[in-house]
Amino acid sequence: MKHGPLSRRTFLAAVGATAVAGCASNKTTSPIPVTSPEPGAIPADTTSASEGFNSLWIPPLLEGTTFDLTLAPSTATLLGGKDASTISYNGAPMWGPTLLMKKGDTVTVNVTNGLDEETTAHWHGVHLPAEMDGGPHQVIAAGATWSPTWTVKNNAATYWYHPHAHELTWPQLSKGAGGFIIVQDDDEAALALPRTYGVDDIPLVLTSRTFDGDAQIIAKTIYGDYLLANGTLNAEAHMPAQIVRFRMLNAEVERAYTIGFADDRTFWVIGTDGGLLNESAEVTRLAMVPGERYEIVVDLGSDAVGSVVTMQSFNGGYSLGYPGAEPNESGDFGSLLNNKTFDVLRLLVIDATADGVKNLPTSLANNALWSAADATNERTLSITASGPGAPFTFDVNDQLFSMDRIDQTVVLDTVEAWTITNNFIFGHSFHIHDVQFAIVERSSGPVPAHEQGWKDTFYIPVNEKVTFVAKFDDYASSEHPFMYHCHMANHEDEGLMGQFLVVDKA
Ligand code: C2O
Ligand code: CU
């Protein structure tokens, strides 16, 4: 099968109207529920949201091999139906276009910086040369355009792009800058999986934000008070009564999400950060830390048309150290969403589509993941801080991130095991650029089935040690480093980041 089903034509025909109406309805309906809507009532106009809800924003899809992105000031209709200033790509309210790429293609992205400060554009999870990576060294000055190009080598999966400028990731991400990358390949295309963008295949990015008295986003907040799904408050999606797919992304500053459904139904993880799992993993709860993606499928085939299924985050009952378990509702680490269960997305079930997926394929991929025995070199890092309240650092003599210091040098084509330990106060989200790895050991117990796929980001709880194995292949440079860091944007900006070179054999 070719890659046709997720074509622009399909997108325009099938969801263009929904997406546009979603945007428009943000402007005309109150985002705060004023009355309790009838459970299950389908609005007369099925492209608009039920009373008290807003249609989930579906970012427009761009495809081809040349993509144009412009990051500039924009607005999103958020708290109280008021316009909040955002920064976003190509005029989106928050969350810019989804870039659809085909494995094997050589792509170019022209990124124009329409802000009055510098930015970068990082392709999270994508395997490419360090100088195309968009880390803190590939600065795009205000008004400038940067045009990285690379050959898509990643597996079909969900990746994303976001600013990564030195000490600016946190505020720029908070204001709305980011977007999805969907890679397709022939193996994934051959499977009977939901694949109609915006209809049964939904990108879903979760963040939370806090607003000031004028309903403006407070850019450097750790935990937001209001959940935003694709930048939409009180989001509703109309989902056909069949198997549906969500490409989940936690793009929070710091909060972890424990995803599930209000009726505790089971669902299936089909893909991790860097590809499909060999087999789907059945779950009722799925924890995700900032930067992580999971592709999940949910079976709505037995749900009556007009019924409501609510996706929630079950963040209550964790001990301190879990990101978002802090008990306070205000203050630096406070939030109205902390340490409780809250709604993420309301799914209103509509008629199945003609060719809707009814059964999941039993086998999804043939990944040969690395094991500990494959590694020929080992490294250890520990996450620490000089004391409570001090910025977190990697243990290289307690040094904060420096643009001018190379922390690790890896020889091209080496398979390495990296062990990260965390014995200080708080959980983190570890992410490394360049590679997709296999998690081979967690000190707390077996690596869960849904983590046994290609990953680039993982949760490291306090008092845990995690080992992953990766091969650093294809791209060497004695000049341009890649990053590894905590993906909690505040920790990253405060210095919990290091850089490594991948160099040719001497
Ligand atoms: Cu999502 Cu270093 O990045
Ligand atoms: Cu951290």
**pLDDT tens-digit map of 347-358:** 999 999 999 999
Atom of ligand 1 nearest to the CA of 483: 2
Asked whether the predicted pLDDT for residue 10 surpasses 90, the reply is no
Is the minimum distance from the CB of 245 to ligand 1 under 6 angstroms?
no
Give the ligand with the smallest distance to the CA of 422.
2
Mean pLDDT to the nearest integer, 103-115? 98
Q: Find out whether 455 and 439 touch, Cβ atoms under 8 Å.
A: yes
Question: Could you give the 3-state DSSP secondary structure of residue 353?
Answer: coil
Residue 480 CA to ligand 2 centre (angstroms): 24
Atom of ligand 1 nearest to the CA of 135: 2
Asked whether the predicted pLDDT for residue 153 surpasses 70, the reply is yes
Give the ligand with the smallest distance to the CA of 177.
1
Residue 461 CA to ligand 2 centre (angstroms): 10
Residue 122 CA to ligand 1 centre (angstroms): 7
Rounded distance, CA 232 to CA 45, Å?
A: 19
Is the minimum distance from the CB of 247 to ligand 1 under 6 angstroms?
no
Residue 426 CA to ligand 2 centre (angstroms): 8
Asked whether the predicted pLDDT for residue 24 surpasses 60, the reply is no
User: 85 is written with which tokens?
Assistant: 């200033």
The rounded Cα 166 to chain-centroid distance in angstroms is: 20
Is the minimum distance from the CB of 491 to ligand 1 under 6 angstroms?
no
- State phi, psi for 228 to the nearest 5 degrees: -120, 125
Asked whether the predicted pLDDT for residue 20 surpasses 50, the reply is no
Q: What is the pLDDT of residue 14?
A: 33
pLDDT more than 90, % of the chain: 88
Average pLDDT of every residue of the chain: 92
**Assign residue 125 a region: left if phi > 0, alpha if psi is -120 to 50, beta otherwise?**
left
Provide the 10 A C-beta neighbour count for residue 328: 12
Assign 397 a pLDDT band (cuts: 50, 70, 90). Answer: low
Half-sphere exposure of 124 (CA within 13 A, CB side): 28
**pLDDT tens-digit map of 308-327:** 999 999 999 999 999 999 99
Is the minimum distance from the CB of 102 to ligand 1 under 6 angstroms?
no
Question: Could you give the 3-state DSSP secondary structure of residue 113?
Answer: strand
**pLDDT tens-digit map of 40-91:** 678 878 779 999 999 999 999 999 999 999 999 999 999 999 999 999 999 9
Asked whether the predicted pLDDT for residue 12 surpasses 80, the reply is no
Residue 48 CA to ligand 2 centre (angstroms): 39
Q: What is the DSSP letter of 132?
A: G
**pLDDT tens-digit map of 372-383:** 999 999 999 999
Neighbours of ion ligand 2 (CB under 5 A): 428, 486, 488, 491
Which residue, judged by its Cα, is nearest atom 3 of ligand 1? 124
Cβ within 8 Å of residue 446, ≥6 positions away: none
Is the minimum distance from the CB of 291 to ligand 1 under 6 angstroms?
yes
Residue 349 CA to ligand 2 centre (angstroms): 38
Atom of ligand 1 nearest to the CA of 457: 1
Q: Find out whether 230 and 247 touch, Cβ atoms under 8 Å.
A: no
Asked whether the predicted pLDDT for residue 210 surpasses 70, the reply is yes
